[in-house]
Amino acid sequence: MTRAGALLAARVTSQRAVEEAEGELAVAEAEVEAARARVRAYGIDPATPVEAGRVVLASPIRGSVVTRSAHIGQWIEPGDAVLEVVDLDELWLLGAIFERDLRHARAGQRAEIEVRALPGERFSGEVAHVGQTLAHGDRTAALRVVLANPGHRLRPGMFATARLEAPAAGPQVLAVPAAAVQELDERHFVFVPAGEGVFDVRSVRLGTREADWVEVIEGLAAGEQVVASGGLLLRGQLLRSTLGEEEGEE
């Protein structure tokens, strides 16, 4: 800028040219300072000479180098990923949980992990996140489990299965095997043994269904037995007897 000022004093250049030169100098100085800040972020003092062609890069986290995409002699552009460092002391299991099981999953729940590569071994984790939306294809929600990895025996990319701990015991419900429930004319009923070869037909009102069991809200008392297999045969006999009574009335 001293030369530009001298030229301006000698009326060799204009005031506008001097101002443009001052602006370019300010931009250049800002770029130099930004470059120095980036160098200091890697733990390097810009004022300290370094060995020609060698710079030590410090990772911002502890971990292991799992990917190296740079090689000697390769030109590196700003923004290029040179190394990938992963902290293997703690891993995430990313999985999916079916829609019907969502009500049993919650953040903070304990989980037991098994991996194909280590059969017979179990690892403990904790549910960190349960997805709030469902995938349209398989109707599942995302599940994230955090687990410790002592000795780094677990590795990213392994296939694993998580079993969630049972939720706290809730109110008891009366349930019967789903195979015991029959339907006729949009009404549900079960067969209750009433003696040797004799069965009562009991209308029931159903609640929620879980796997092979269905909740009974009305129509049965706790401890009563129901026919779980052979219900279809009894249903057929009931239909035949009903039809016979109707024909007799005619």
Q: What is the pLDDT of residue 14?
A: 63
Q: What is the pLDDT of residue 246?
A: 45
Q: What is the CATH number of the domain that holds 124?
A: 2.40.30.170
**Domain end position, chosen among 164, 185, 210:** 164
d(CA 229, CA 190): 11
Q: Are 115 and 91 in contact (CB under 8 A)?
A: no
Q: What is the pLDDT of residue 223?
A: 87
Q: What is the CATH number of the domain that holds 234?
A: 2.40.420.20
Rg (CA), the chain: 37
Q: Domain limits at 49?
A: 1-58
179 three-state secondary structure: helix
- Residue 64 covered by a domain: no
What separation in angstroms does the CA of 67 have from each of 60, 64, 86, 242?
16, 9, 9, 74
Q: Name residue 20's amino acid.
A: E
Give per-residue pLDDT as tens, 124-174: 999 999 999 998 888 899 999 999 998 889 998 999 999 988 766 556 788
- Residue 234 covered by a domain: yes
- Please provide the distance, in angstroms rounded to a whole number, between the alpha carbons at the two ends of the chain: 118
In this predicted structure, the answer to whether residue 93 has a pLDDT above a threshold of 50 is: yes
d(CA 86, CA 63): 5
220 and 199 in a common domain: yes
In this predicted structure, the answer to whether residue 44 has a pLDDT above a threshold of 50 is: yes
Hey, what are 67's tokens? 């990917």
In this predicted structure, the answer to whether residue 5 has a pLDDT above a threshold of 70 is: no
Give per-residue pLDDT as tens, 211-250: 788 899 999 988 898 888 776 677 666 666 654 444 444 4
* Mean pLDDT value across residues 36-42: 77
183 and 124 in a common domain: no
234 and 188 in a common domain: yes
222 and 195 in a common domain: yes
204 and 149 in a common domain: no
188 and 235 in a common domain: yes
Q: Are 204 and 189 in contact (CB under 8 A)?
A: yes
Total tally of structural domains belonging to the chain: 3
- Residue 114 covered by a domain: yes
In this predicted structure, the answer to whether residue 193 has a pLDDT above a threshold of 70 is: yes
- Residue 216 covered by a domain: yes
- How many Cα atoms are found within 13 Å in the side-chain-facing hemisphere of 12? 6
- Residue 84 covered by a domain: no
193 and 156 in a common domain: no
Give per-residue pLDDT as tens, 102-125: 888 889 999 999 999 999 899 999
- Residue 98 covered by a domain: yes
**Domain end position, chosen among 164, 195, 218:** 164
**Domain end position, chosen among 164, 192, 225:** 164
pTM: 0.47
